[in-house]
Amino acid sequence: MATGTVEALRRHGLRATPQRVMLLEELRRRHDHPSAEDLHRSLLPRSPTLALSTVYATLESLERVGLVTRLSLGEGRDRYDAHAHPHAHLVCLGCGQVQDVPLPPLALDPAQVGSFRYAYSRVVHYGWCPRCQASAKDIGPRRGREECPP
């Protein structure tokens, strides 16, 4: 299993250090869109000298070559995702959990984009997960968002 990861790194021109292999594997295994610190905490038992700044540096390298995507959802910290297939994200306004959902086809009118050279799009849906619907107002929205059209 390490093999696939090592090859992926090399194929993208990155040196396969143990930290990078470990981090990419962890990120490919998880589907909860962890933050840099989440990843650091998860890996520390297995690799007690792993520095948080190395996690950041590694995530930056992986993002630069396209193996990882950074998500900024306005929670104060960024989340990371190593799942390649294009998808949208569904965020719970109560507890902040993020799950992957299929990407609706985006009919992007070239006229919209004007003279921009178009690269890609990101779609995020917001709503309330079952548990947060139940616990009603117990948990306030993370970083206030009550309505907001756009």
Partner DNA sequence: CTGTGTGCAAATGTTTTGCATTCGC
Partner DNA sequence: GCGAATGCAAAACATTTGCACACAG
Using CB under 7 A as the criterion, which residues of the chain lie in contact with DNA when the complex forms? Answer: 9-10, 14-20, 35-37, 47, 49-54, 56-58, 60-61, 76-78, 143
Nearest Cα neighbor of 101 from 91, 93, 89, 92 is: 89
> Which one of 14-22, 39-47, 48-56, 101-109 is the stretch in contact with a second copy (CB under 8 A)?
101-109
Question: What does 8 interact with, of a second copy, DNA, none (CB < 5 to 8 A by kind)?
Answer: none
Least separation in angstroms between residue 147's CB and a second copy is 4
> Quick one: tokens of 23?
């981090």
Is residue 87 within the footprint of a second copy (CB under 8 A)? Answer: yes
Count residues binding a second copy (CB under 8 A).
61
98-101 and 69-71 beta bridge pairing: unpaired
The kind and range of the H/E element at 89 are strand 88-92
Q: 75 near 144, Cβ under 8 Å? A: no
In one letter, which amino acid is 39? L
Least separation in angstroms between residue 147's CB and DNA is 18
**What mask, x for binding a second copy by CB under 8 A, covers residues 121 to 150?**
xxxxxxxxxx--x---------xxxxxxxx
> Quick one: tokens of 74?
């306005």
Give the single-character DSSP code of 102: P
Is residue 93 within the footprint of a second copy (CB under 8 A)? Answer: yes
Q: Residues near 26 by Cβ (< 8 Å), separated by ≥ 6?
A: 39, 42, 43
Under the rule (CB under 8 A), what is the footprint of a second copy?
Answer: 60, 63-66, 69-75, 78, 81, 83-90, 92-93, 100-109, 112-113, 115-130, 133, 143-150
